[in-house]
Amino acid sequence: MTAAMEGSAPRRTRIQQEKRELILEAALEVFSTNGFRGSTIDQIAEAAGMSKPNLLYYFRRKEDIHETLMQRLLDTWLAPLRELDDIGDPLTELRSYIRRKLEMARDFPRESRLFANEILQGAPRIKPMLEGELKTLVDEKAAVIKGWMRAGKIARTDPWHLIFSIWATTQHYADFDVQVRAVLGADRGGDGRFEDAARFLEQLFLDGLKPKG
Amino acid sequence: MTAAMEGSAPRRTRIQQEKRELILEAALEVFSTNGFRGSTIDQIAEAAGMSKPNLLYYFRRKEDIHETLMQRLLDTWLAPLRELDDIGDPLTELRSYIRRKLEMARDFPRESRLFANEILQGAPRIKPMLEGELKTLVDEKAAVIKGWMRAGKIARTDPWHLIFSIWATTQHYADFDVQVRAVLGADRGGDGRFEDAARFLEQLFLDGLKPKG
DNA sequence: CTAACGTTTGTCCAACCGGTCAAAAATTTG
DNA sequence: CAAATTTTTGACCGGTTGGACAAACGTTAG
């Protein structure tokens, strides 16, 4: 392996790129179900179809895999919030944000669980990013929402807690999937549960629970 | 130690009861922050102020501690839902359920995280209970809520997903506490965040986001 | 007092785990 | 082809972890 220049991405062969992808995919599976400390390099190596020393040739330390995974994750994970924009109708904008977040919980549950695992244990590896990048982004979007409130387009509430509640309700369907399935039972716990959730959440966020009248 | 009779609770000395409590308290602290596999018996023993072999005298296996903790947890954890009753005014009843759940997230965050950890990893040790006891309880309360809807006391929605959304939004403040604090920042992330959350959730669940008009 | 029982500890072990290393195998390059 | 380079593997290592065990210590009842 040729030495990489400081600060630039290391040059990699075709095989290195492919194998690294293979490892990251396997690691996502393993980390998201067992947590960082609960996962072993052997498990990841086996899931990736290679030997442990071979894996360690591509990632020198277990932490490096986790770190790489985390960095990639965060971009895609925050994309829906980044898209929340001031251009459209506020209620429509919020509704589609909720829908996108719910789709991510449906399509990328492992990513959601990986993230949840990290936060649950105190976010030891990404706390700086939460206080920096994430806070900045949320503050920015909270300002947008506040504008909507001042313009009378949506009801006045706390924009930060509004964002929290959207995160919580949507990610719940990925992170607590086992519980959701168990409670809904065999008949209602199937593929339709996400559409039911979408309908429910839309109604909740728009109208709340008070009866019409 | 005298042998316990089959099926009945083992007879225990005063010291055994006290030490077992001490261990469970320490284990709750350790398990909830490191997860099951991420926690060592040594850590728990040290937190409980005793040696590892001594701890193993009271609980023969690490799993036994976790299991005992889990069993106790579930009773207190589901208590608020059990209290949800048909007697009062529906909206008031739901509002106080949300408030109670939020208070539990504030006062028992470790219990919440322990539970979240277990579910996140596929609930390997409590799945039967989810499909049995928990499902029964939720189905029962969903029926109560459905009654309220039929009577026109609250808006018609899916009672199961309503319960999920209450769980998600309230437990979020315990499970994702680090993130909540990070995003709110030093000034708003203090003790007042639970009151802000309570106000926000009340408004969300009652009125939703549509502006009054 | 003393025998029986309950509690605590030091020592030890086998399994596991993250990571190293040198050498073999495969691939690329000239 | 042959040399250089990259990839793969088996063997190994030191540290940790869950748990066993017997001996020491403390307590209590007769």
Give me the total of CB pairs closer than 8 Å, taking one residue from chain A and one from chain B. Answer: 215
Does one domain contain both B28 and B98? no
C-alpha closest to that of A154 among A94, A97, A96 = A94
The residues near B63 (Cβ < 8 Å, ≥ 6 apart) are: B125
Tell me, what CATH number does B37's domain have? 1.10.10.60
Whether residues A89 and A172 share a domain: the answer is: yes
Q: How many CB atoms lie within 10 A of CB B134?
A: 19
**pLDDT tens digits for B125-180?**
899 999 999 999 999 999 999 999 999 999 999 999 999 999 999 999 999 999 99
Range of A159's domain? 67-207
* Token pair listed for B148: 């309220």
The residue written with tokens 């994309």 in the block is A79
Task: Please report whether residue B151 resides in a domain.
Answer: yes
Report whether pLDDT(A10) > 70: no
Total domains present in chain B: 2
DSSP per-residue letters across B39-97: --HHHHHHHTTS-HHHHHHHSSSHHHHHHHHHHHHHHHHHHHHHH--SSS-HHHHHHHH
Residue A213 domain flag = no
Chain A contact for B164 (CB, 8 A cutoff): yes
Q: What is the ipTM of this complex?
A: 0.91
User: Does residue B149 sit in the same domain as residue B185?
Assistant: yes
Final residue of a structural domain among A60, A75, A95: A60
How far does A172 lie from chain B, in Å, by closest CA? 6
Does residue B20 carry a pLDDT above 70? yes
Model pLDDT for residues A111-135, shown as the tens digit of each residue: 999 999 999 999 998 999 999 999 9
Domain presence at residue B6: no
In this predicted structure, the answer to whether residue B35 has a pLDDT above a threshold of 80 is: yes
Confidence at A1, pLDDT banded by 50, 70, 90: very low
Q: Which residues contact B128 (CB under 8 A, 6 or more apart)?
A: none
* Residue of chain A whose alpha carbon sits nearest to that of B141: A183
Of A37, A208, A211, Cβ closest to residue B35: A37
Is B186 (CB) below 7 Å from strand C? no
Is the shortest CB-to-strand distance from B34 to strand D under 7 Å? no
Judge whether residue A6 has pLDDT over 80.
no
Is A3 part of a structural domain of the chain? no
Under 8 Å between Cβ of B209 and A203: no
**Domain co-membership, B55 together with B80:** no
- Is residue B35 within 8 angstroms of chain A, CB to CB? yes
**Across B88-108, average pLDDT:** 96
Query: Mean pLDDT, to the nearest integer, of A25-45?
Result: 97
Q: Which of residues 20-49 of A touch strand D (CB under 7 A)?
A: none
- Identify the sign of the CA torsion A185, A187, A191, A192: negative
Q: In A, which residues are within 8 Å of B37 by CB distance?
A: 34-35, 37-38
- Is the Cβ pair B168, A172 closer than 8 Å? yes
pLDDT at B3: 34
Instruction: Please check whether residues A118 and A27 belong to one and the same domain.
Output: no
Query: What is the pLDDT confidence band of residue B11, given thresholds at 50, 70 and 90?
Result: low
**Cβ of B7 less than 7 A from strand D:** no
Question: Does A140 contact B at CB distance below 8 Å?
Answer: no
Residues 81-120 of A with CB under 8 A from B: 91, 94, 113, 116-117, 119-120
> Which residues in 42-61 of chain B line strand D, with CB less than 7 A from it?
42, 52-53, 56, 60-61
Mean pLDDT of B91-106: 97
In whole angstroms, what is the distance from residue A114 CA to residue A94 CA?
25
Query: How far is it, in rounded angstroms, from Cα A52 to Cα A38?
Result: 17
- Claim to verify: residue B100 and residue B188 sit in the same structural domain: yes
Same domain, B43 and B100: no
Are B182 and A155 inside 8 Å of each other by CB?
Answer: no
Please tell me whether residues A85 and A187 are part of one structural domain.
yes
Label residue A67 exposed, middle or buried (CB < 10 Å: 0-12, 13-18, 19+).
middle
Q: Could you tell me if B24 and B79 lie in one domain?
A: no
Residue-level pLDDT at A15: 74
State whether B46 and B122 are in the same domain.
no
Task: Answer whether any strand C atom is within 7 A of the Cβ of B1.
Answer: yes
Q: Which residues of B touch A35 (CB under 8 A)?
A: 35, 37-38, 117, 120-121
Question: So what's the pLDDT on residue A9?
Answer: 57
